Amino acid sequence: MSDCEHDFVYDQAIGVFERLQVERAKLDAQEASVLGMLVGLCTHDSRDEASDGLDRRLASIALELGLAGRMSDRTVRRRLDDAYVLTSKFGATSRALGEGAISGAHATAITDCGLEVPDEHRAEYEERMLERAATSTPAKLRAFGRRIAAEYDPAAVAERQAEAARARSVAVRDLHDGMSELVLTLPSAQARAIHDRLTQLARADLESRTDAFGAVRGAGAAAGTQDAAGVGAAPAVGAGTGDGDVADDDCGRPRDDRRFDAVRADAAVELLLAGRLPDDSRHAAIDSMQGRVAITVPALTLLGADDAPAMLDGVVPVPIETARELVDGASVWLRVLTDPITGEALAADTYRPPAALRRFVEARDGGCRMPGCHRPARYCDIDHSHDHAKGGGTSACNLACLCRYHHTIKHSGWGLQQLARGRLLWTAPNGRTHLDLPIPMARPRAPDDRSASPESDATLVAAAPPF
């Protein structure tokens, strides 16, 4: 196959895939319409019955549909409920799905986040979400939806989160091959802080072992050089021991070949069962390691002049009371100026450009900017969109957060261009473009509200609250 034929087939395959997504969305809309109609009929037929009459009718229909579709009636019941919500409460979203403009997963994100939005604001909510859906994956759309849904009723968000926190729990789920899952259901701030602390411990453990191994290898190499010169020396570590390719560190342990996730899991086991990591982990500063989260708080909210929600790691709205508790111990603050109309990050105040510039980019992006990736910004590389080696500047308009995986892929034929205010335009190797937008950091104002300049609005980002 020639290069020209290869490119043609590749491009055609991508086009067919895109058309299939549109057709699948249209089929999802047709299914939702049928299921929503069935729920409507049941509701009409059960209007004069006892309160459990509707449930019995829906259970019967779910069982019949499940048998027809060879699936669980419980699965069908969930589909019935979701379809009724979509078709009866989210008309614009239902129409967009029927036109193939969004996927079923996008529609689910819109309805899930929008159920708590007051009826009088739902049309506006749908409009904002559908506009965002044009450039977002379902997961990023859901994060955006949580943010704007919380704007309409902050008090309700606080009440729901307090109620949900009362259901926190620990559970074990058995898997295959002697493995199980330990599931902790916790408030998001605590869960993310725990995950971050385990990540720090795992990274420090691997780095300490790597450093020790490198030091021993260096000592062995020096000894070998002396031996060649006629000055006797001990054999290098691992030599002549029958270990083959397995290298030992300075304590005689095999070199660590665990995956990073396994090291993180082992750290959790040691902390939970023993209350500490083993002595040979070299964590002299373990007690000083703290779980970190990033909390973004509109300045006016912090001062009590507004009720716009704070955001945890850019994706989870938190009540202002929780935000204040988190930021009380913050060791790092960054004031980010935002556009009074769109809420997008514009600039950051700083006296130390390098460190503050990184914090600004992390606050603006929230996480990896490859569409579909959700890795938090603090675990990402700060990448030059236009390569530094080719003249790209080190400024906010040329920097973006990319996880290591997507940072590597970027250099495999992908193009990246920064547009205004953190908008990224990705160009795939086949020439197709994909726009990625940062989630607004502050509540957007009405377009006709021009009374405030960008400098009059600010968002405070606190890093590393202690846990």
- What is the pLDDT at residue 442? 63
How confident is the model at residue 33, as a pLDDT? 96
Write down the pLDDT at residue 230: 38
Q: What confidence category does residue 352 fall into, taking pLDDT thresholds of 50, 70 and 90?
A: very low
- Residue 155 pLDDT > 60, yes or no? yes
pLDDT of residue 375: 86
Write out pLDDT tens, residues 65-100: 999 989 999 999 999 999 999 999 999 999 999 999
Closest by CA to 371, choosing from 439, 292, 430, 318, is 439
- 36 in Cβ contact with 44 (< 8 Å): no
Residue pair 83/32 in contact (Cβ under 8 Å)? The answer is yes
CA distance 98 to 19: 14
Would you state the pLDDT for residue 328? 63
Q: How far apart are the first and last CA of the chain?
A: 59
* Domain parsing of the chain, residue ranges: 3-152, 186-288, 294-463
- Mean local confidence (pLDDT), 114-127: 93
Where is pLDDT greater, at 228 or 70?
70
Rounded distance between C-alpha atoms, residue 32 and residue 228, angstroms: 79
pLDDT digits (tens, 9 = 90+) for 121-149: 999 999 999 999 998 999 999 989 988 88
Percent of the chain with pLDDT over 70: 70
Strands (E), 63-185: 169-174, 180-185
pLDDT higher for 221 or 72? 72
pLDDT: which is higher, 408 or 236: 408
Chain centroid to Cα 399, Å, comes to: 19
Most confidently predicted of 171-175, 227-231, 308-312, 370-374: 171-175
Which stretch of DSSP H or E encloses residue 171?
strand 169-174
Do the beta carbons of residue 293 and residue 461 sit within 8 Å? no
Which tokens in the block code for residue 400? 């973006």
User: CA-to-CA distance for 84 and 86, rounded, in angstroms?
Assistant: 5
Amino acid at 90: F
Question: Who has greater pLDDT, 374 or 74?
Answer: 74
**How many angstroms separate the CA atoms of 378 and 461, rounded?**
13
Nearest to 24 by CA among 101, 113, 109, 87: 101
pLDDT surpasses 60 at 205: yes
Mean pLDDT, residues 23-38: 96
Which residue in the block uniquely carries the two structure tokens 């040979």?
280
Q: Using alpha carbons, list the distances in angstroms from residue 407 to 5, 89, 308, 375, 412.
A: 30, 41, 33, 12, 10
pLDDT of residue 430: 81
What's the average model confidence in pLDDT over 403-426? 88
DSSP assignment of 23-41 equals HHHHHHHHHHHHHHHHHHH
Q: In the block, which residue shows the tokens 């250099």?
A: 411
Half-sphere exposure of 457 (CA within 13 A, CB side): 24
Residue 73: which of 58, 93, 92 has the closest Cα? Answer: 58
DSSP annotation string for 226-280: HHHTT---PPPTTTTSS-TTPPB-TTSPBPP---HHHHHHHHHHHHHHHSS--GG
Res 228: pLDDT: 39
Segment 49-55 mean pLDDT: 69
Other beta carbons within 10 Å of 188: 18
Torsion of CA 345, 349, 355, 361, to 10 degrees: 0
Which pair of structure tokens corresponds to residue 104? 């079923």
Q: Among 227, 208, 218, 231, which Cα is nearest to 277's? A: 208
Packing angle between helix 3-45 and helix 73-89, nearest 10 degrees?
90
Sole residue written with tokens 């009459």: 53
Question: Reduced to 3 DSSP states, what percent helix, strand and coil does the chain have, rounded to the nearest 5?
Answer: 55, 15, 35
Q: What is the pLDDT of residue 51?
A: 61
One-letter amino acid identity for 334?
A: L
| Residue in the structure block whose two tokens are 């000894």 | 223
Amino acid at 13: A
For residue 432 the two structure tokens come to 């197709």
DSSP 275-295: SS--GGG--TTGGG-----EE
Using one digit for the tens of pLDDT, what is the confidence trace for 284-337?
444 445 656 677 777 666 666 677 777 776 667 777 777 777 666 555 555 555
Cβ atoms of 154 and 307 closer than 8 Å: yes
The answer to whether the beta carbons of residues 292 and 362 sit under 8 Å apart is no
Distance CA 120, CA 123 (A): 7
Average pLDDT for 335-345: 59
Distance of alpha carbon 78 from alpha carbon 93, whole angstroms: 19
Instruction: Go through the chain and tell me how many residues it has.
Output: 467
Question: Tokens 């964590």 map to which residue?
Answer: 283
At 443 the three-state DSSP class reads: coil
Tokens describing residue 325: 């508790």
SS3 label, residue 209 = helix
Question: What is the rounded average pLDDT for all residues in the chain?
Answer: 77
Torsion of CA 412, 417, 422, 428, to 10 degrees: -50
pLDDT at 47 over 70: no
Predicted local distance difference test score (pLDDT) of residue 398: 87
